[in-house]
Amino acid sequence: MEGARLGDKHAMANALEDITGIATTALQGASLALFSPTERMEWAAGRDTKREEDWVYSLLGIFDVSMALIYGEGRLKALRRLKKEIGESYNTLLPVAEGASFDSHAQEHNAKCLPDTRVALIDHINKWAEDRTSKPIFWLNGMAGTGKSTVARTIARLFADRDQLGATFFFKKGDGSLGNADRFFTTLATELMASIPQMALELEETIRHDQVMSAKSLKEQFERLILKPLLHTVPVQEPFQGRIIVIDALDECEKDEDIRKILRLLSRTKELAGAFLRVFVTSRPELYIRLGFKQMSNGEYENFILHEVADDIIKHDIRVYLENQFDAMREERSLPYGWPSRDQIRCLVKLAAPLFIFAATACRYIGDPKYNPQRRLELLLTSRNTKSSKLDSTYLPILNLLLRRRTKRIKNDGLPSFGRSWEAL
C-alpha cells in the first residue's frame, strides 16, 4: 500500500479470513469436502459482481460442478440451473416412486384449475403459504370428485414457477410405489435436494454412513433424510421464501397405519422454523385420516372442506370448465357457434354440482371422436333421472347408452358361443 509491503497471503491469512469470510484452512488449500455446504455458500454471500450471473458462476468450483455460462439469463435462472447440477452431482441414489411428481409424464395430461376458477381458495392457500406465523400443514379435504387433485396440481405449478416448490407426491392406489409409503420420504428427500442444494450436500454424509436408509422405518427416514438435514440447513444469499411440499390423495396410501404415521411425522415440521417448510395435503375425509389429524393440536394444521364451498361458487367454476371444454370441441369438430345452448349448459351445471368429476366424465363421453357430440349431449340430458343419487346420475345415463349400443351390436352379430339371445342373458 503506497509502496509499503503489507505481507503475503500466508502472513495475512487471518486478515483474509476476516475480509472474505473464508476459513484459513480453505484458503491454504484444504479439501472443500471438509467444509459444510452452508459454509461454502456463505463464502460467496457478500460478493458483488459486475454481471449478476457471475455471482452464481463463481460457485461452480466451490461445489465442483460444471454447467454452461449463459450471460443474460439472470441470476435466478442461473441459480436454478446450479441447484439442478448440484443435485445431480451429489446424487445419493435414494429410490424414488416413478410418476409421483406433479410434473411427471404420468401427470402430464391431468387437469389444472382454469383461469377464473377456484380464485378464493387459491388466494387463501397463497396467504397461508406466505405467512410465517401460519400453521405448518394445510389439509384440503373433500368428497370424491370435488376436484382436490386438480387444485393440488395447480398449487404445485404455482409454487414451482416461483421457485418455492420443495417436493410433491401424488398417491394412486394400486399403482405400485404410488400406492404405498415405501418410497414416500425417499422421494420427498430427493426432490428437496434439488430445491435446496445445501440440504443435498448435508444428505450425502447421512447416506454414506447408512447405505440401507431406504429400508428403515418411516420415522427414521423422516428424521434422517428430511428433518435433520433441514435443521442443519441455513439458507444464504437469495431471500429464502420457504418451500412447499404438496401431497395429493393421501387416502389412497394402502395402509391406514402408514397414513397416520405420515401425519404424525409431518406435524413435526413445526420444528423447522428456520427452514420455513409448509405441507399441503389433500384427501377424502376418511375416518383414519380424520383420526390422524385429530391427534394433532389445533395449532399444527388448517382444515378446508372443499365440498362445503358455497354452491354458487362451485356452479360458477363448473360452468367455466364446461364452456372451456365445449369451446375446444367446437373448434376441433367444426360445430356451429352457439352449441351447446345456454339452457343445455345450465342443465349440465345443475346435474354436476358439486362434483367436478361429473362435468369431466360428461365431457369425455360427449367429446368421443367416434360419435356425434351434439347427439350425445341430447341423449345424456334426456336420459337423466332426477330421482337418482348423485353417483347414479353421473354414470347411469352413460352406462345405459353404452349398453343399448352393445345390445344392438350383439343382436346383429349373434351369440354363437352361447347359443342364446342377449335378452335371455
The helix (H) or strand (E) run that includes residue 137 is: strand 137-141
Q: Whole-prediction pTM value?
A: 0.71
Band (pLDDT 50/70/90 cuts) for residue 88 is low
The residue count for the chain: 425
> What whole-number distance in Å separates Cα of residue 299 and Cα of residue 260?
18
Band (pLDDT 50/70/90 cuts) for residue 410 is low
Q: Is the pLDDT of residue 280 over 80?
A: yes
Q: Is 231 exposed, middle or buried (0-12, 13-18, 19+ CB in 10 A)?
A: middle
User: Of 56-65, 81-90, 140-149, where does mean pLDDT reach its minimum?
Assistant: 81-90
User: Of 70-74, 322-326, 337-341, 411-415, where does mean pLDDT reach its minimum?
Assistant: 411-415
Give the model confidence (pLDDT) of 348-367 as tens digits. 998 888 888 888 888 988 99
| Rg of the chain taking only CA atoms, in angstroms | 28
Give the model confidence (pLDDT) of 221-230 as tens digits. 999 999 988 8
To the nearest whole percent, how much of the chain has pLDDT over 70?
83
Give the model confidence (pLDDT) of 92-145 as tens digits. 568 889 899 998 888 878 889 999 999 999 999 999 998 888 899 999 999 988
Query: Nearest to residue 150, comparing CAs of 282, 279, 327, 245?
Result: 282
The helix (H) or strand (E) run that includes residue 18 is: helix 13-20
Give the pLDDT confidence score for residue 170 in this predicted structure.
97
For residue 396, which phi and psi values (nearest 5 degrees)? -60, -45
Grid cell, residue 158, equals: 404455482
Grid cell, residue 94, equals: 435414494
Between 114 and 89, the higher pLDDT residue:
114
3-state secondary structure of 370: coil
Give the pLDDT confidence score for residue 43 in this predicted structure.
81
Q: What's the average model confidence in pLDDT over 207-220?
A: 81
State the average pLDDT for the chain.
83
Query: What domains are there in the chain, each with its CATH number?
Result: 31-89 (no CATH), 105-308 (3.40.50.300), 311-413 (no CATH)
3-state secondary structure of 59: coil
Give the pLDDT confidence score for residue 92 in this predicted structure.
55
Q: DSSP label at 101? A: S
Query: Nearest to residue 405, comparing CAs of 381, 360, 370?
Result: 370
> What whole-number distance in Å separates Cα of residue 358 and Cα of residue 390?
9
Q: Is the pLDDT of residue 190 over 60?
A: yes
Cα–Cα separations (whole angstroms), residue 271 to 202, 226, 403: 18, 12, 57
For residue 394, which phi and psi values (nearest 5 degrees)? -75, -45
